[in-house]
Structure 1
Amino acid sequence: MNATAQETELDLVVRKRTALTPEVAELVLASAAGGELPAWEPGSHVDLILREGLVRQYSLCGDPGERDVWRLAVLRERESRGGSRHVHDELTDGSPVRVRGPRNNFPLLPAARYRFVAGGIGITPIVPMIAAAEKAGARWQLLYGGRTRRSMAFAEQLTQAYGDKVILCPEDELGRLDLDSWLAEPRDDTLVYCCGPEPLLLAAEARCAAWRAGSLRLERFVPRAAPASAEEATFEVELTVSGLTVTVPPGKSVLKAVEEAGVRVRYSCEQGTCGTCETEVVAGTPEHRDSLLDEEERAEGKTMMICVSRAACPRLVLAL
């Protein structure tokens, strides 16, 4: 994956803030001096570095061809840990904001057909994917659910642009999304892209269990529940770039052990969801605990998220 290779940090400003719904604000970010921003592809997100220790990831939901701005849509979370509250309460037109990225852990792969499933603010990465699928001439449909029609960002824009390819399901009117019907028939020519709250993602995983491996593509912004595992063991990590070997005891992450040895590593969420700390594995077998890598990537063992993943062997060798 190595999603962080081309990342940059930029000091941008909020060119315009708009209320898409009572709970969702769109931010249009631009350089104060003007000029182009780094290129991105559908599925990409960026980190907003809101203050020391407060970094949050938000999907880019605009047009990748619109090179002078980045567009984000941010939900005011009912149980905010500080990020969405800061965006809604502190960022207004002209506000400065430091941004890192873009990073793409949720790329739109080529396919003849797509089934898109979005729940709530999970629509944000799907919006540019739909435009790309349409441009490529692929056949697609979107199933989009939310608590109420009024709460569903981009709903009117999508239905006006794409008509009956977009199926809106406000829960107060129609109940929950009918994934049993939507994903009933596995198709080898179809990819399913799903983003939204964890119960929706788990339901999509269950319905796609009979589909061809790799057909379902998910993006999580909260870590998946960790399975019960045996007691953690101590292991060693050899760092090929810095020439150090560090010991990682139970209860300490590889990331923290490496940092304490004086090696600087870029990271953000510390939950295995953002991909910032993804690191090349030179030798050894990782014990993957992230919420990003798919089963094929886990089996290959070429990279790991060192903020949460550990070793399934006595010694790992990492390109750090």
Structure 2
Amino acid sequence: MSSPTLKALVHTMRHEADGIVSVEFRPASPEVDFPAFEAGSHIDLHLPNGLVRSYSLCNPASDRQRYVVGVLNDKKSRGGSRYVHQQLRVGSTIEISHPRNNFALQEGAERSVLMSGGIGVTPIWCMLQRLSALGRPVEMIYCARNRKEAAFIDAITALAADKGIPITWHFDQEKNAPPNLVQMLEGKGAASHYYCCGPTPMLDSFEKSCEQLGYANAHIERFAAVEVAAPAATETYVVECAKSGKSVEVPPGKSILDSLIEAGLNPDHSCKEGVCGACETVVLEAGEIEHHDGILTKLERQSNKTMMICVSRCKRGPLVLDI
């Protein structure tokens, strides 16, 4: 089954930077609160054009009467961000998912270092507000191509000035170079927790930099699943479903999720792109899994305890799922 949804009213849409708008949702029934959420959470927008897209929440996690997301008008949009920018209007009512969190903030960390790139500022801004409210030690590194494309600058600057939070700004066009992440992160301590959200090259560089510096507490969130070359040849394989007792064949070119749905099962799902986490399924037994999601860490993939059945496949059987 698809994830349960909430009815939400588009209350406000605001220009935040070149190509970026924030959308504030309120409960369609004013007497009802939205479910609570944690910093780092995202929601899925079930858009009227039939698409489902995930966006990080960027308002304070204490809010119960509003959810705010930031949406970049992506030039490579397949219809999601384009719809938000061109057709979504204040007063519209749409379905949204309950918040989910694949980018959890360790609120009790000795110190937190938050790094964002471009639209990746959305969950980082939420984290900054949360840690500030808790009075926890935190600093932020904000990277963007230029100031015009950097969202929430004024709000971040004001909060930092009020709370004495160190902020490092890096704008590629002003520095005539991309950020050197090793230099930016060096000397900040192995006990700190490091968070980064941004474009894929930045995330890859962040992971390598943290590994080089010996920082084990590194956390990332991707807006797109990791691109992995498809295998040269694939074969039909069988998924054993422990709860239902069904055996389901998965042919080449078809996902486990779609195969299970065709077999009459109703696994939870949403984005079908490996980035929202709704279809994460417990693996009871597996030979070799080919992970294609943008959520699980390297260690989590190696453990083969769960998989995103919308994009990941079984490379070598058996495969027994808790479905």
TM-score by length of 2: 0.91
Q: Which of 9, 12, 17 is matched with 1:16 structurally?
A: 12
Q: What CA deviation, in whole Å up to 9, does each residue of 1:200-235 have, x standing for no partner?
A: 111112212234574221111112121565643432
Partner residue in 2 for 1:318: 321
2 CA distance for matches of 1:101 and 1:228? 32
2:173 is matched with 172
* 2:127 maps to 1:129: yes
2:253 aligned residue (251, 254, 276): 251
Q: Which moved more, 1:22-31 or 1:115-124?
A: 22-31
Determine the structure 1 residue equivalent to 2:98: 101
Letter in 2 for 1:165: P
1:8/1:102 contact within 8 Å kept: no
Aligned position for 2:218: 216
**Offset at residue 289 of structure 1 (A):** 2.3
Quote how far apart the aligned CAs of 1:288 are. Answer: 2.1
The 5-angstrom pairing of residues 115-264 of structure 1 reads 115-163=113-161, 165-175=166-176, 176-185=178-187, 187-212=189-214, 214-227=216-229, 229=231, 231-264=233-266
Separation (CA, whole Å) in 1 of partners of 2:74 and 2:316: 40
1:186 touches 1:210 (CA, 8 Å); kept in 2?
no
Match of 1:307 among 296, 305, 310: 310
- 2:276 maps to 274
Gaps of 5+ in 1: none
Structure 1 residue 304: deviation in Å?
Answer: 0.6
AA aligned to 1:195 is C
212-221 vs 74-83, which moves further = 212-221
Specify every segment of 5 or more residues in structure 2 that has no aligned partner in the other structure, as ranges.
none
Q: State the alpha-carbon separation in 2 of the partners of residues 26 and 51 from structure 1.
A: 18
- Partners of 2:203 and 2:231 lie apart in 1 by 23
Question: Do the aligned partners of 2:113 and 2:139 also contact (CA within 8 Å) in 1?
Answer: yes
CA distance in 2, matches of 1:230, 1:218: 30
Alpha-carbon offset, residue 77 of structure 1: 1.3
Report deviation, 1:113: 1.4
Q: Which amino acid aligns with 2:305?
A: K
* 8 A Cα contact 1:277 1:306, kept in partner: yes
Q: Is the 8 A contact 1:186 1:212 kept in 2?
A: no
Q: Deviations over 1:248-272 (max 9, x none)?
A: 2333221122122111223233222
SS in structure 2 at match of 1:104: coil
Shift of 1:101: 2.2
Shift of residue 32, structure 1, vs aligned partner: 2.3
Q: 1:156 to 1:178 in 2, by over 3 A?
A: farther
1:88 counterpart letter in structure 2: H
Q: Distance in 1 between matches of 2:215 and 2:175?
A: 31
3-state DSSP of counterpart to 1:297: helix
Counterparts of residues 78-93 of structure 1 (less than 5 Å): 78-93=75-90
* SS across alignment from 1:141: strand
2:33 to 14, 33, 36: 36
Is contact 2:190-2:216 (8 Å) kept?
A: no
Per the alignment, do residues 32 and 317 of structure 1 end up closer, same or farther by CA in structure 2, a change over 3 Å counting? same
Task: Render the CA deviation track for 1:130-152: whole Å, top value 9, x for unaligned.
Answer: 12222344322211111221221
Structure 1 residue 185 displacement after superposition: 4.0
SS of 1:103's equivalent in the other structure is coil
Which segment drifts farther, 81-90 or 257-266? 257-266
Q: Is the 8 A contact 1:280 1:303 kept in 2?
A: yes
Distance (Å, rounded) in 1 between the aligned partners of 2:187 and 2:274: 32
Change (3 A) 1:105 1:214: farther
Cα-to-partner distance string for 1:101-152 (whole Å, 9 max, x where unaligned): 2111111124111221111110000011112222344322211111221221
SS of residue paired to 1:284: strand
Q: CA deviation at 1:313?
A: 3.5
Say whether the 8 Å CA contact 2:189–2:215 is kept in structure 1. no
Identity level (%): 37
2:66 to 63, 66, 69: 69
1:26 pairs with 2:25: no
SS of 1:128's partner is helix
1:270 and 1:181 map into 2 onto residues whose CA distance is 37
SS at match of 2:17: coil
Name the CA distance, whole Å, in 2 between partners of 1:25 and 1:261. Answer: 41
1:53 paired to 2:50 = yes
Task: Call closer, same or farther: CA 1:214–1:290 in 2, change over 3 Å.
Answer: farther
- Of stretches 275-284 and 130-139 in structure 1, the one that deviates more from structure 2 is 130-139
